Amino acid sequence: MRVLLIYPIFPQSFWSFEKALQLVDRKAMLPPLGLITVAAILPQEWEFKLVDRNVNTLSDADWDWADLVILSAMIVQKEDFLAQIREARRRGKPVAVGGPYATALPQEAEAAGADYLILDEGEITLPIFVEAVQRGESQGVFRAPNGDRPDVTITPIPRFDLLSLELYDNMSVQFSRGCPFQCEFCDIIVLYGRKPRTKSPEQLLAELEALYQLGWRRSIFMVDDNFIGNKRNVKLFLKELKVWMAEHEYPFHLSTEASVDLANDQELMDLMVECNFNGVFLGIETPDEASLTLTNKHQNTRNSLSDAVDAIASTGLRVMAGFIIGFDNEAPGAGDRIVRFVEQTTIPIAIFSMLQALPDTALWHRLKREGRLMEDVANINQTTLMNFVPTRPLEEVTREYVRGFWQLYDPSNYLNRTYRHFLKLGAPRHKSKLRKVTWKVLRAFLTVCWRQGVARETRWIFWHHLFSILKRNPGVFEHYLSVCALNEHFLEYRQEVRSQIEAQLEEYLKNQRLHAVSESRERDAISATP
Ligand code: SF4
């Protein structure tokens, strides 16, 4: 069986960083970890070819080669995902789909023509699918019986060998699935449950060893939605990772996502830094305590959020964080409060979004009951309006959002925050082995210096901070410069956010006015009826 694995295109987004990737001839931030894990679970006598459409083109020869096409996607990839299902059908190829989008909204993949829906987690449903194929069945829906979730200690090492490694900025691995918390808007706990399931330390070390043997020597993102969901197991893993990293002379920089309660566990933070973690993404969402309580994010209300950011940063982990506007009963000015919080805590990369109801989440079901969902299908990026009716006027939330995004990514605000944050981090505890400075790296360095240090009006801030970092914290210089380089992306992206959101808001307000006029005409007609 020849299987063509296709990963659909991501639209431009906050995280796409095209300009920064071009500097170093890379095409995407992260590889399709789900699809290469699928390839590892399927029978190894089958043949596999992976085409990640974010980094490669899909040729006629690829299609002709395939006996079966398998696609996996997140909701943001919806458009290309559905287009590739239709293309597979047009070419007469059987097509199987899975992943978070197909699991949340299987009817959409089915309507596009998918033959096999492999839903829920693949460790359970892929073997059932394989049996069906081997019985000669040409279609089917495969779900985990009784909502079972697999033990991830049985998950094999992903087929990293299928990737064109040089085209990615980071590699990814996963230690755990699931999160113990219950944030109302979160789809992770719907997809993976509230009991974190972790791999064994040996298992994840074997994955890192596989990447090491393939020659990978750059950053690795642990894609867990909450890396510290099971603190006991994560510490056991980190203790072994620490030894492995030292033996291998710290070949990777690591980063991950974690809940804010990381700040309460100094031992855990220290272990992470000792294992060469240099960044962590936190779901802070908002400094408004009432909104956090309402959305069931109680873990963020127990201690001061700004103290938590300080504790994490001063241990040596660069903080990235997510912020959301549009919670129910939010007081006006939420956007400004978020901007103030980000500035005060010096978080360089703050992903700011309007709240969206993702399918099947607790928020989605509540809003559906309350008749407040505006569309059946959620869209989830920074350039789309909210998909439900908020409790304060949508126009007010939207204008605060656009203004906040604009201020956060004002080029001097961004450079100043980044500088202050990197001074907080302190010197790295380990030196990675010195790498040869290649022409590619030198060219990227010169391009950043040209763009930031000559072409932009913020040139003096850039040079001042750069020399100051070299003097006061030289160990973080390379990391600091790579975060500064993202200024180009954010400058362009904030423009994108403003123009797209304002156009949608205009359309929304026009429809509201038309609706109000037609309602008033109807009322007039009724009152004029004798
Ligand atoms: S802490 Fe993060 S992963 Fe966990 S439930 Fe909340 S939003 Fe989801």
- Averaged in consecutive runs of 10 residues, what is the pLDDT profile of the chain (530 residues)? 97 86 91 98 98 97 98 94 97 97 94 97 97 96 93 97 96 97 94 94 98 96 96 98 96 96 97 96 97 96 96 97 97 98 98 93 96 73 90 96 98 96 87 72 89 92 95 92 91 94 94 85 76
Distance 361 CA to ligand 1 centre (A): 12
Q: Is there a domain that residue 503 lies in? A: no
Note whether 122 and 211 are same-domain residues: no
- In short, whether 258's Cβ falls inside 6 Å of ligand 1 is no
Q: Are residues 116 and 236 in the same domain?
A: no
- What is the rounded average pLDDT for all residues in the chain? 94
Ramachandran sector of residue 193 (left: φ over 0; alpha: ψ -120 to 50; beta: rest): left
Largest CA distance in the chain: 91
Q: Are both 212 and 141 inside the same structural domain?
A: no
**104 and 184 together in one domain:** no
Whether residue 444 has its Cβ less than 6 Å from ligand 1: no
Residue 258 CA, ligand 1 centroid: distance in Å: 9
Q: Is the CB of 362 within 6 Å of ligand 1?
A: no
How far, in Å, is the centroid of ligand 1 from the Cα of 188?
7
Of the residues 375, 390, 409, the one at which a domain ends: 409
d(CA 69, CA 4): 5
User: Could you tell me the CATH number of the domain that includes residue 215?
Assistant: 3.20.20.70
Same domain membership, residue 119 and residue 176: no
To test the pocket of ligand 1, the residue of 226, 284, 320 to mutate (highest count of ligand atoms within 8 Å of its CB) is 226
Which pLDDT score, from 0 to 100, does residue 432 have? 64
36: domain CATH number is 3.40.50.2300
Q: How far is the CA of 187 from the centre of ligand 1 (A)?
A: 8
**Can you state the angle between helices 487-528 and 394-408, rounded to 10 degrees?**
170
Pocket test for ligand 1, best of 186, 191, 194, 291 (most atoms within 8 A of CB): 186
Ligand 1 atom closest to Cα of 299? 1
Strand partners, 352: 323
The answer to whether 55 touches 167, Cβ cutoff 8 Å, is yes
The last residue of one of the domains, among 356, 382, 409, is 409
189 lines ligand 1 (CB under 6 A): yes
Ligand 1 atom 8 nearest Cα: 186
Same domain, 97 and 196: no
Q: Which residues contact 44 (CB under 8 A, 6 or more apart)?
A: none
User: 174 and 142 in one domain?
Assistant: no
Give the pLDDT score at 441: 84
283 lies in some domain: yes
Among candidate residues 381, 409, 437, the one where a domain is terminated? 409
- For residue 396, with 0-12 CB atoms within 10 Å meaning exposed, 13-18 middle and 19 or more buried, which class applies? middle
Mutate to test the pocket of ligand 1, among 176, 181, 197, 291 (most ligand atoms within 8 A of CB): 181
**Cα 296 to ligand 1 centre (Å):** 10
Q: Burial, 272: exposed, middle or buried (Cβ in 10 Å; 0-12, 13-18, 19+)?
A: buried
pLDDT computed for residue 289 by the predictor = 96
Give a yes or no: residue 456 inside a domain: no
Q: What is the pLDDT at residue 378?
A: 52
The verdict on 58 and 120 lying in the same domain is: yes
Range of the domain at 193: 169-409
Out of 225, 299, 380, mutate this one to test ligand 1's pocket (max ligand atoms within 8 Å of CB): namely 225
Q: What pLDDT score was predicted for residue 433?
A: 64
Predicted local distance difference test score (pLDDT) of residue 524: 79
pLDDT given at position 483: 93
Please check whether residue 97 lies inside any domain of the structure: yes
Contact 259 CB / ligand 1 (< 6 Å)? yes
**pLDDT in the model for residue 435:** 67
> In the chain, how many domains are there?
2
Asked if residues 383 and 496 have their Cβ atoms less than 8 Å apart, the reply is: yes
User: Does residue 230 share a domain with residue 306?
Assistant: yes
| Residue 159 within any structural domain of the chain | no
Could you tell me the two tokens for 1?
A: 């069986």
Q: Is the CB of 407 under 6 A from ligand 1?
A: no
Positive or negative, the CA dihedral 252, 257, 261, 263 is positive
Q: What pTM, to 2 d.p., does this model score? A: 0.93
238 and 386 co-located in one domain: yes
Q: Are residues 33 and 82 in the same domain?
A: yes
Q: How many Å apart are CA 37 and CA 39, to the nearest integer?
A: 5
Rounded to the nearest angstrom, the distance between the alpha carbon of 235 and the centre of ligand 1 is 20
Closest ligand 1 atom number to CA of residue 226: 3
Residue 470 lies in a domain: no
Evaluate: CB of 225 within 6 angstroms of ligand 1: yes
**Ligand 1 center to 194 CA (angstroms):** 9
One domain for residues 126 and 250: no
Length of the chain: 530
CA of 368 to the centre of ligand 1 (A): 21
In a domain, 434, yes or no: no
Copy the structure tokens of residue 97. 């789909």
Would you say residue 279 lies in a domain?
A: yes
Q: For ligand 1, atom 6, name the residue with the nearest CA.
A: 183
